[in-house]
Amino acid sequence: MRRVRLRGPNGIEYGVVGDDVVISQRSGDIPLLDTDRLSLPDPYHLLLPLEPPEVWCAGVTYERSRDARVEESAVKDVYTLAYEAERPELFLKDAGCRRTVGPGEPIGIRSDSSWNVPEPEIALVLGDRFDIVGVTIGNDVSSREIEGANPLYLPQAKVYAGACALGPAILTPAPDEPLEIQMRIFGESGRELFSGETSTARMKRSFAELVEFLVRENPVPWGSVLLTGTGIVPPDDFTLEPGHVVEIHVPGIGTIANPVVLASSLAERSPAHA
């Protein structure tokens, strides 16, 4: 079941995705213009599927991501050690939903970095007992230049305005089988600049293992989200630019598309989902 959150004439409401409609208790059946992107007719607008109190990320969970980090980093061994260690890399991406956007909203890239990339990931929604109650798509937008200069710069590489996107829907319950992840990046002309795909079957760590480490002696509030790492890495000569569009697709969840802007243009504005 796919669950969504939307704004309409009756305010913010919640719905369940049917074959070609969103079923809402307030508005009834709302026709879908696109069943994959979950586009809605005016005056309805798709929102973040939830407003998590905290967004956390796990890193170096795929071998491809490990290899890319080793290549970019001035400290060559730290990412290999993290990949091979029992303890995973975990970091706080957002709190209070101040840096997280939903479907169709702009994601940000840092103006003080010349190498910025999207990181398409499966995002776990955590329940009140730290169980995984659903999954959605996440984009952990990052500066590879800043992180590669020094791993201690990780917060600056990862945490800034518009650095995270979630959506378009929450799939419940969380499936037991592996999930396929596909990403495409388009230029201003609509020309495809990059495409890649992976599967959670290629992850070194399980979802349950990542959650267990996250909540160990850590008061994570229920409703928080944990992004589980990326296995899709664009080539080293690619960087996101304003005007690009990033599309991430996961069968069973849908597609989230976000245009790219400079984070400085987002830093002072009020969250669009508020």
Q: What mean pLDDT comes out for the span 57-65?
A: 85
- Residue 272's pLDDT is 46
Q: How far is CA 224 from CA 104, 130, 208, 210, in A?
A: 22, 9, 15, 14
pLDDT in tens, 171-193: 999 999 999 999 999 999 999 99
Asked which of 30-44, 131-145, 240-254, 259-273 is least confident by mean pLDDT, the reply is 259-273
Which numeric CATH code is attached to 54-265? 3.90.850.10
What pLDDT score was predicted for residue 216?
Answer: 98
Does pLDDT of 271 surpass 60?
A: no
DSSP state of 145: H
Q: What's the rounded Cα separation, in Å, for the pair 225 and 213? A: 14
Q: How confident is the model at residue 72 (pLDDT cuts 50, 70, 90)?
A: low
All structural domains of the chain with their residue ranges = 2-46, 54-265
DSSP 227-259: E--------TT----TT-EEEEEETTTEEEEEE
Kindly state the average pLDDT of the residues 41-51: 97
Q: Is the pLDDT assigned to residue 146 strictly greater than 90?
A: yes
Radius of gyration of the chain (CA): 18
The overall longest dimension of the chain from CA atoms, in Å, is 56
pLDDT > 60? residue 79: yes
**Distance spanning both ends of the chain, measured CA to CA:** 25
User: pLDDT digit string (tens) for 227-270?
Assistant: 999 999 999 999 999 999 999 999 999 999 999 999 999 987 64
Q: How far is CA 45 from the centre of its chain?
A: 19
